[in-house]
Amino acid sequence: MLDEKTIEELHSYYDRLPGGICLVKADDSEEILLANAELLNYYQCANWQEFKELTRGTYRGMVEASDYIPLKDIVRVKGQPEANYAYFQFPYRTREGHFNKGNALLIRTTQKGLGDIWSINVMKSKYSRAPGETENITGLLGGTAFYKRVNEHIQMEKIDGIGGLYCSVYFNLTNFKLYNSNYGIEQGDELLRKVADVLRAHFPYSIIAHLNADNFALVAPRDGVIEQVEAVCREVDEMIDNFSITLKAGVFFRDPDNPSEYTANSAFDMAKIACDSIKGDASRSWATYTETMGKNLAARAYVLENFDRALRNGYIKIFYQPVVRTLTGKLCGMEALARWEDPERGRLTPDMFVPVLEDAKLIYKLDSYVVEQVGKRLHTMEDSGMPVLPISVNLSSADFDQVDPLDVVERVVRKYRLPRSYIRIEITESALVKDGKKLQREIDRFRKAGYQCWMDDFGSGYSSFNVLQNFHFDELKIDMAFLRNFNDQSRKIIKSIVLMAKSLGVHTLAEGAETQEQVDFLRSVGCEKIQGYFYGRPMKYDDLRVHCRDKNLREETRQEEFAYDKLGLINVLTGAPVALCAVNDKSMRILYENDAYKKVLEDVSVSDLR
């Protein structure tokens, strides 16, 4: 924390310089030490306190969450590492909610009294023009001239009493950086010119702008606008012919009865929010703004502003859901799941905060926290002499971009002196499609280190069976959607997955079982484990112990786990169904008519099944 005298001296210097200037700690915290008066003006903040509240006092908070890259990585990727500087662009949102983009020079330096810092010098856009001038790449209006024209248009509507006849449309070329990387800057500029031509052709009488590198905007008559927007997106996508680089659109319809409620800037902010809502949805090219989107944005902001506080204060709780082995009806493991119990908003469900943290590249903090808490729980179970059951933890694909998850888990294992077999690693199927080669290497590292790796939500994607050709998993967690729609077709699919997994030497677990009928079916086809409300919802550990005692769910031993894992890979459909019963107090025996079990049991002693 800087003292007041140092802050005053820094402001006396930096406030006189042109452009916005920000000083940031050159460590992982990226704490903002100083923002000059011009930068506060850029963010529409009246003072330092407002700016600190808006950004949460870090560089991460200065940038649109989906575009955040750590400053050290910006230099590594875009700059001169040996010189510690780089030119880059970053999108940001002002205190009044407007979206802007800044061009900046990033420099790493050392200052007396401050230590190692980043100096971010924000400059005006190189494409800015005086009002009325066109933008020099596409020939379209630039942002300043565009918003001036649109505000004049809104005022004329108000005077003429014909408000609401026009709407705001915002376009974004998703992954345009990838296009530039693949084809070069010149080809990227040529693409922007072609997009501008397509917009002119479909909206010949509209006010159109190229706002910045990958964003366009226009005001168009509301009648038939959706059909025109669809046609533009389709034509541009066909022209690019790359499914990962597409044109998305957001449309905002102003209230005809109150047309002047929004300024040009705020109307296009709404259109941008609608556009951003479908960036990750390959099935949609456009969306219209709804109040729900605005609420979702507010909820997102709350999560980002309060997440670190929630971790510090213990608002993030670890819940455990039981996993039961079908052969025995015994408890054979648990899944650790995060729940946010907020003092202001009550319980936040995972779908309210996990996607936000993934987009903001903060999910590694949550997953690291869960691993730490699971390690502590396992250590407590061991020390107290309670039966120790393996616990599975979820890792996001985004974790591998921010930290080394194997190192995170290994540090916890060493800290609490745990066998690696106590922790199971779950990775969702959808994550494997995004960066398959990298995740393949990381999964192999985990398995070589002695951890079981499970594929979560198997069957939820379009390439489930193809994924198994390239990735080596110890267990498949069959997506709960198959049991949610429990019919003849889903039964056939589940049966085929179980048989395929056994042929590959991969274990199976079905999620989402809620009824006796579903449990009986899963047992009959040889699915080894079940997780679902039939056996228990996610709950706090102490509540889980009481629940399992009341339901007579006994924990299986490590010896039983070893034996039943062997038995679980047998195809039970080639013989009669298996039944299991307690013969006496000293042992358990399997009653079977399947020769395959006999062969396995020759190597499994009675004591292994106790």
**What is the per-residue pLDDT across 425-443, written as a single tens digit (0 to 9) for each?**
999 876 776 666 788 899 9
Whether residues 216 and 307 share a domain: the answer is: no
Q: Are residues 437 and 558 in the same domain?
A: yes
- Torsions phi, psi for 278 (to 5 deg): -120, 15
- CA 344, distance to chain mean position in Å, is 24
Instruction: Express each pLDDT in 269-298 by its tens digit.
Output: 889 989 988 887 788 999 999 888 878 777
pLDDT band per the 50, 70, 90 thresholds, residue 321? very high
Task: Give pLDDT tens digits for 77-119.
Answer: 655 555 577 778 788 888 887 777 788 888 888 887 788 899 8
The answer to whether position 138 is within a domain reads: no
The CA distance from 390 to 422, in Å, is: 4
Q: Which amino acid is at 408?
A: V
Last residue of a domain, one of 91, 123, 155: 123
Say which CATH number the domain at 20 has.
Answer: 3.30.450.20
pLDDT digits (tens, 9 = 90+) for 40-61: 999 999 999 999 989 989 999 9
pLDDT given at position 583 = 31
What is the tens place of the pLDDT at every residue in 549-585?
999 999 998 888 988 888 888 775 554 333 333 333 3
Q: Looking at this protein, which amino acid is placed at residue 359?
A: D
Establish if 169 belongs to a structural domain. Answer: yes
Same structural domain, 529 and 473: yes
Domain identity same for 402 and 256: no
Model pLDDT for residues 495-534, shown as the tens digit of each residue? 999 999 998 899 999 999 999 999 999 999 999 999 999 9
Q: Which residue has the tokens 């079940």?
A: 530
pLDDT tens-digit map of 329-345 = 999 999 999 999 999 99
User: Rounded distance, CA 262 to CA 246, Å?
Assistant: 29
Are 454 and 509 in contact by the 8 Å Cβ rule? The answer is yes
Is there a single domain that holds both residue 260 and residue 343? no
pLDDT at 318: 97
The reply to whether 473 and 542 lie within a common domain is yes
- Note whether 110 and 177 are same-domain residues: no
Position 469 pLDDT exceeds 90:
no
Question: The domain that contains 190 carries what CATH number?
Answer: 3.30.70.270
Segment 399-420 shows an average pLDDT of 94
Dihedral (CA of 476, 477, 480, 483) sign: positive
Mean pLDDT for the stretch of residues 266-270: 85
Give the model's pLDDT for residue 260.
55
User: How high is the pLDDT of residue 163?
Assistant: 57
Percent of the residues in the chain that have a pLDDT greater than 90, as a whole number: 43
- pTM for this predicted structure: 0.65
Q: Do residue 557 and residue 594 come from a single domain?
A: yes
- Percent over 70 (pLDDT), the chain: 85
Residue 137 lies in a domain: no
Total structural domains in the chain? 3
Is 51 part of a structural domain of the chain? yes
Same domain, 151 and 63: no
Which pLDDT score, from 0 to 100, does residue 596 have?
A: 47
| Beta pairing, strands 507-511 & 529-531 | parallel
Considering the domain architecture, whether residues 212 and 323 belong to the same structural domain is answered as no
Q: Is the pLDDT of residue 140 over 60?
A: yes
Mean pLDDT, residues 486-495: 90
Q: Are residues 83 and 213 in the same domain?
A: no
Place 127 in a pLDDT band, splitting at 50, 70 and 90: very low
Does residue 128 lie in a domain region? Answer: no
Helix spans in 475-571 (H): 481-484, 488-504, 516-524, 541-550, 558-568
Q: Kindly report the CATH number assigned to the domain that includes residue 365.
A: 3.20.20.450
Residue 135 lies in a domain: no
Tell me how far apart the alpha carbons of residues 502 and 497 are, in angstroms, rounded to a whole number.
9
pLDDT of residue 333: 96
Domain for residue 69, yes or no? yes
Q: Does the residue 376 lie in any domain?
A: yes
In 3-state terms the chain splits into helix, strand, coil percentages (rounded to 5) of: 45, 25, 30
Structural domain boundaries, residue 41: 4-123
Mean confidence (pLDDT) of the chain: 83
Asked if 110 and 196 sit in the same domain, the reply is: no
* Mean pLDDT to the nearest integer, 206-219: 88
Least confident of 97-111, 355-369, 531-545: 97-111
